[in-house]
Amino acid sequence: MNTTELRPGIYAVGVVDWNVRSFHGYTTDRGATYNAYLIIDEKIALIDTVKEPFAQELLERIREIVDPEKIDYLISNHVEMDHSGAIPAVMAKATHAVIVTSAPSGYNGLKLHYGDSYEYMPVKAGDILSLGRHTLQFVPTPMLHWPDNMVTYCPEEKILFSNDAFGQHYSSSRRYDDEVDMAEVMAEAEKYYANILMPYGMQMKKTIPVIEGLDISLIAPSHGVMWRSHIGDIVNAYKHFSDDTPDHKAVVVFDSMWHSTEKMARAVLEGFAMKGVPVKLYDLKVDHISDIMTDVLKAEYVAVGSPTINNQMLPTVASFLCYMKGLAPKNKKAFAFGSYGWGGQSAGLVNDGLEACKFQIVMEPVKVQYIPSEAFLKELSEKVAALD
């Protein structure tokens, strides 16, 4: 792919990772991008780098525009290595460049990653860096999703270099939102939020008004396409994602050995359908936890089922509960269910996991020995349909 000139003297020079299928423990079925941006002015600035294996590709893109040795500033919006991994390769060429990063977390984090031999410029809220015709303003966004995160704003061009915010793991030869399938991009934006930013909804709610206070004609994130025609849509989507009020929908998640727990899961599904609640069914043998969490993000009800094996729940269910607890979804109504042969511990253990997520338990754990009867399944559906 060639570099793209976004504005006179401002270029997208990042790379596309077409083949990556796992990132942060969630599936990236449409690949990913590691976006970086180059500003040519009296002073030359590179905003972020790329994942280390793509460092030479980044440098080749920069060379299409300018000798990397002429870079004066390297703006590091985020320490994480999909953003910063190419810093050593860039700094090996741009030997006089100054690394601009957030104070104190970015400064401390970069030193721990790459040492203290570089010249650093820690910045805080309100600091402004003049490049000549362009200025860069720095806005800290701590815990979106690391303590060091910040965004960079260029008021002259109305560009927000938004770091992880508004990103998507989505590979494309196109650069902008209006050049691709918006349904795909919005789905990936929701999945990205659900699996990376969901624990930090409170911080996001505080950040959105700051972003809305800026005059923005282009959002240039660190991953995925840039937003120029649907800025209002993605900002409103983030308001919705970070709002703790759930949508009226349900998610049923299970694994099963001999189909008994699966029969229960389908009875639970039927109960929600009887209740008029839109519902999705996920089998952990075939569905990835990161896809499930995309629906859990705004679900009102979460039902989780497992049979008992060796006095425990199935490992797939335990893994899902652990992953979900870490992402800390808010304001969910939940219950557990499961089949067993003799011990019957799984439903209670799943219930404990749901309580650990701080969900409201709306039904005592439901369990059945061996194979559920039609009468049992019908009663289970009716109990679900009767939930508040």
Q: Look at residues 247, 237, 261 and name the one whose alpha carbon lies nearest to residue 377.
A: 261
Question: Is 24 a residue of the active site?
Answer: yes
Query: Exactly one of 11, 17, 37, 78 is catalytic; which is it?
Result: 78
The span from the CA of 189 to the CA of 113, in Å, is: 28
Number of C-beta neighbours around residue 100 at 10 A: 24
Q: What is the largest CA-CA distance in the chain?
A: 78
Question: Is 145 a residue of the active site?
Answer: yes
Q: State how beta strands 135-140 and 128-130 pair.
A: antiparallel
Residue 79 DSSP SS3: coil
Query: Exactly one of 26, 223, 270, 340 is catalytic; which is it?
Result: 223
Query: Exactly one of 164, 188, 190, 295 is catalytic; which is it?
Result: 164
Q: Which residues contact 287 (CB under 8 A, 6 or more apart)?
A: none
Query: Exactly one of 48, 82, 177, 270 is catalytic; which is it?
Result: 82
Type of residue found at 341: G
β partners of residue 102? 123
Query: Exactly one of 17, 80, 188, 300 is catalytic; which is it?
Result: 80
Query: Exactly one of 5, 24, 64, 69 is catalytic; which is it?
Result: 24
Residue 376 DSSP SS3: helix
The span from the CA of 354 to the CA of 42, in Å, is: 57
Question: Is 287 a residue of the active site?
Answer: no
Query: Exactly one of 26, 192, 282, 340 is catalytic; which is it?
Result: 192
Could you please report the per-residue DSSP string of 180-203?
S-HHHHHHHHHHHIIIIIGGGHHH
Question: Is 82 a residue of the active site?
Answer: yes
Q: Look at residues 127, 129, 133 and name the one whose alpha carbon lies nearest to residue 103.
A: 127
Question: Is 223 a residue of the active site?
Answer: yes
Cβ burial of 51 (10 Å; 0-12, 13-18, 19+) is buried
Query: Exactly one of 134, 145, 169, 230 is catalytic; which is it?
Result: 145
Distances (CA, A) of 321 to 205, 283, 306, 364: 26, 14, 11, 18
Torsion of CA 121, 124, 127, 133, to 10 degrees: 60
- Indicate which residues carry an active-site annotation: 24, 78, 80, 82, 145, 164, 192, 223
